A and B are shown apart, each in its own frame.
Chain A
């Protein structure tokens, strides 16, 4: 919306008022609405229902993100759950090519409620004058007059209620009264009107103009800079991605993901390797649990006992260290700091709040790890009593638990070294906060933090890593990404750009070294270097997939058995299979069946499996495979090439990597 209509609205209000009187007399009022008299028979204007959502315009960075793919261009919207994009596409962020004022703009939804409210004030002002000027000549006219006045009173009460409740306006009763009476400082340049709606309209117009001016100043300010960043999250590890002209990272030499699924890229190899390690770990665990061989069982028990004891010791250490943390005290201090920070967003209270919040997150994470690990240690103690399906397939499966616990433990340990710096920073900012009581509360809050680092000591990270490596040695790697909370950034840095120098940001997924299933996020931020004002960063979340008909390699853990033969062959036994499955993804499905198809993500293909159904030292089988939910559940039929009496076998299986992701989600939920 452009300023001219607003100026017109402002002029209407400027021209509308003059000094007033407490006693409205018939025919007395001549101000404001004489040129705009409402028809007495017309109903009173209704108070807009969206005053509650009224917000003055904030700077918005106009831009759009588009997926440019082989089958067309598709817009991507922020704040959506990750939308699947084709691994061969380009994610392109465009800005308007006009002036800075077009780039920093205000989308209609923000202006509409304000314009509606201005319109209401104008109509209510006219209605107020019209009702006051009536001269009823008989009982019917008097009754109508009373009804209309009552409706106007109801509107006034409703309006005040909404203005008081609107969180974005932050008005109290006295401020509303000052505005209505024309005594508010922002109305100093206007003659006072006895018509409260005239004063309300002027106030809103002034506020709107102030914000518009601030936006214009922002748009022409050379200190305002835009940054665009892209990140890849793969198996819990985050890394920054290169966007030409928006950073100085090295490009890297990557090959695109093969659509047939037969030539995996380097990133795809890494994914397959993780899948293979997990499948083999699961196979080893199930073999040990189901083996009749007592030595094998004892070996497993010893390994698990080691993990159990070391992990229990680490958890005890963690629990003792966090016991002193008082969540109530933390909440009280945070609330006080929050109130102070609202008054001065760049002040010491805001800086203290940021650091204190991090401590809150640290302790919450430590508690979540301790709670989950206690349950995990219990599972380890009872591992002999658990069935293989409980160990592997349920939502709280041992493997999924282990992956997330060790990963979070390692990440937490990686955060510990930064705590002393934060404590020092808080001590530095503390004297700047005038409130002595708050200073004391903060000092008290710092005591458990300091003791946390002291009690956990420098060896905690090594101990956590050691327990994780014990598990890894026994049952395979779980992609423990060290310090995954911290983003791995290549050599170089991001390049923020001024508003008059924006270029499209193009992230070419073909050349970004991504694997299928990776999460790719793009983040756009606007910062005013002069005032420190930062626009809420806008994030776009996407998931790398392949659209249309495509192949995907995978490694599955499976339980296989021969269709007939001796009991050794017909027992369900753990094995590992490599497969290539072909899928079809519908781009932007609209109907129920299309959405269901994509949700099921069914696949069919071929597999090659190592088997254990006869006496041969190496048994290989091959055949068909079908899968659902991206390989979470698989099944198939194959031919065993070894020298067995029965060659045909069937299997069911899972993709443990997918299961691990679910375990991580559950951990985050906890």
Chain B
């Protein structure tokens, strides 16, 4: 699938983050996860949002270092707004509120 890393690479992710017309939300896990379901739900409700499923954690070391977040919300620029825990990523209301906050002008 085009939105899954891999086959997409860290370079693809970086290029997308630099696009100021979109905010982004990454979910780190599997396609069958509840957290990914809620990420797709957010994508279906919020315009100008890109979502990515990161199946291989090593590709995002540049952004997370040694941390193991379950999801990351990015602003319209390439800056990180918040790392989400697994519990937070599996709370639809929390995910939507976080993305909404990430989109707020700085």
Contact = CB atoms under 8 A, between A and B. Distances in A.
A632 interface: no
A161 B40 CA distance: 17
Given A153-B99, A181-B41, A173 B47 contact: no
Nearest to A143: B105
B47 A164 contact: no
Interface in A269-319: none
Given A142-B20, A142-B21, A173-B92, A181 B44 contact: yes
A156 B45 contact: yes
Contact of B96 (A20, A131, A157, A197): A157
A24 B47 contact: yes
Contacts of B60: none
A177 B96 CA distance: 12
Contacts of A265: none
Interface string B11-52: 000000000111100000000001001101111111111110
A26 B47 contact: no
B30 to A, nearest CB: 16
Contacts, number: 102
Given A24-B47, A131-B47, A153 B38 contact: no
B44 A196 contact: yes
Contacts of B38: 173, 177
A152 B47 contact: yes
A180 B45 contact: yes
Interface string A125-164: 0011001100010000011011111101110110111001
A571 B75 CA distance: 91
Contact of B44 (A142, A153, A164, A195): A195
B96 A149 contact: no
B21 A145 contact: yes
B56 interface: no
Contact of B93 (A132, A153, A173, A194): A173
Given A150-B105, A157-B97, A160-B93, A177 B46 contact: no
B29 to A, nearest CB: 15
A106 interface: no
Q: Per DSSP, are chain A's interface residues mostly helix, strand or loop, or mixed?
A: helix
A22 B100 contact: no
Contacts of A149: 23, 46-49, 103
A41 B99 CA distance: 23
Nearest to A172: B92
A146 B47 contact: no
Chain B CB count within 10 A is highest, among A148, A181, A195, for A181
A156 B46 contact: yes
Interface residues of A, number: 39
A385 interface: no
Contacts of B97: 157
Interface in B86-106: 91-93, 96-97, 99-100, 103-105
Chain B CB count within 10 A is highest, among A142, A149, A159, for A149
Nearest to A183: B37
A159 B44 CA distance: 13
Nearest to A152: B47
B60 to A, nearest CB: 17
A177 B92 contact: yes
B74 interface: no
Contacts of B34: 174
Interface string A168-182: 000001101100110
B47 A154 contact: no
A150 to B, nearest CB: 4
B105 A194 contact: no
B41 A153 contact: no
Contacts of A22: 1-3, 40, 43, 50-51
A109 B40 CA distance: 35
A150 B100 contact: yes
Contacts of A164: 93
A89 interface: no
A196 B21 contact: no
Nearest to B91: A173
A632 B34 CA distance: 68
B96 A26 contact: no
Contacts of B92: 160, 173, 176-177
A2 interface: no
Interface of A: 20-24, 26, 127-128, 131-132, 136, 142-143, 145-150, 152-154, 156-157, 159-161, 164, 173-174, 176-177, 180-181, 194-197, 199
16 contacts: A22-B2, A22-B3, A22-B43, A145-B48, A146-B48, A146-B76, A147-B105, A150-B100, A153-B96, A156-B46, A157-B97, A157-B100, A160-B96, A164-B93, A173-B38, A173-B91
